[in-house]
C-alpha cells in the first residue's frame, strides 16, 4: 500500500536543512540539500530515537544530532554501523513538496 501526501510549499524547508512531517502515521524527515534534490527518511533515528530532521546534512548523508550516526539520504543505509533507516520518495511538484511511502 502506498501513501502519498502533499505537504505544502517546498520553501518551508530552509536550504540545506531538514524538517519533520507526518505522512499518514509515519513521521518523515525531508531534507533539501544545497546540492539539489529532496530526500525523505523516516524521522526517527534507528539508534536511540534521535530526531533526524534536526541533523546536519551535506547532500549525501544526514548526521543524527544525538550520537552522530550517519545515514545515506538516497536509501537510508547507515554508514556508521547502526541499523538502516527507511527511505521514502520526496519530489517537488509545482513548488509543492510531495512524499510517497511504500
Partner 1 sequence: MTQIAERPETEQTTPPRSRLVVVGNGMSGARALEEILARGGGDRFAITVFGDEPYGNYNRILLSEVLANAAGSVVDNEDADDEIYLNPLDWYADNGITLHAGVRIVRIDRHAKVVLGDDGSVTPYDTLVLATGSRSFFPPMEGMWASRTALTRGVFGFRSLDDATSMLAHVKDHRTAVVIGGGLLGLEAAAGLQAHGVAVHVVHPTEVLMNQQLEAEASKVLRSKLQDRGMHMHLGVKTSEILTENGSVSGVRFTDGSDLACDMVVVTAGIRPNIGLAMVSGLETQRAIVVDDKMRSVDDDDIYVVGECAQHRGEVYGVVGPLWEQAAVLADVVTGADPDAEYHGSRLATKLKVAGVDVAQMGVKTPERSSDEFVQFSETGRGVYQTVVIRDGTLIGATLVGDVSKVAALTQAFDSRSALPEERIQLLFDLGSADDSSAVADLPDDTQICNCNGVSKGDLIACVEHGAESVSACTAQTRAGKGCGSCKGLVKEVVEAALGGAGAEDPADSYYVPGIPLDKPTLMREIRARELKSVSAVFAALAPEGREHVGSKMGLTALLRMMWPDDVVDERDGRFINDRVHANIQRDGTFSVVPRMSGGVTSPEQLRRIADVAEKHEIPMVKLTGGQRIDLLGVPKEKLQEVWADLDMPSGWAYGKSFRTVKTCVGTDFCRFGLGDSTQLGIDLEERYKGVEGPAKMKLAVSGCPRNCAESMVKDVGLVAVEGGEWQIYVGGAAGATIRKGDILATVDSHEEAIRLTGRFLQYYREHANWLERTYDFVPRMGLEYLQAVIVDDTEGIAAELDARMQETVDRYSDPWAADQQERTPGQFHDALPLVPLPQVPVR
CB neighbour burial string for 2-27, b if at least 16 within 10 angstroms, e if fewer = eeebebeebeebeeebbbebebeebb
For 19, the grid coordinates are 524538517
Q: Which is nearer to ligand FES, 34 or 68 (CB)?
A: 68
Footprint on this chain of ligand FES (rule: CB under 6 A): 45, 47-50, 64, 66-67, 69
| 6 counts as binding partner 1 under rule CB under 8 A | no
Q: Which is nearer to ligand FES, 5 or 66 (CB)?
A: 66
CB 90, min distance to ligand FES, A:
20
Among ligand FES, partner 1, none, what binds residue 62 when CB lies within 5 to 8 Å by partner kind? Answer: partner 1
Instruction: Supply φ then ψ for residue 54, to 5 degrees.
Output: -85, 0
Single out the residue of 3, 4, 37, 60 in contact with partner 1 (rule: CB under 8 A).
Answer: 60
Q: What's the chain's length in residues?
A: 102
Among partner 1, ligand FES, none, what binds residue 47 when CB lies within 5 to 8 Å by partner kind? Answer: ligand FES
61's CB contacts (< 8 A; 6+ apart) are: 70, 71, 72, 73, 79
Amino acid at each position: 500500500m502506498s501513501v502519498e501526501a502533499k505537504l505544502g510549499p517546498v520553501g518551508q524547508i530552509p536550504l540545506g536543512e531538514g524538517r519533520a512531517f507526518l505522512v499518514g502515521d509515519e513521521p518523515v524527515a525531508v531534507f533539501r540539500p544545497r546540492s539539489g534534490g529532496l530526500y525523505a527518511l523516516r524521522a526517527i533515528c534507528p539508534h536511540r530515537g534521535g530526531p533526524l530532521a534536526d541533523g546536519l546534512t551535506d547532500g549525501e548523508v544526514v548526521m543524527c544530532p544525538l550520537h552522530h550516526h550517519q545515514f545515506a539520504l538516497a536509501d537510508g543505509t547507515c554508514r556508521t554501523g547502526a541499523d538502516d533507516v527507511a527511505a521514502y520518495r520526496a519530489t517537488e511538484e509545482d513548488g509543492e513538496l510531495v512524499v510517497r511511502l511504500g
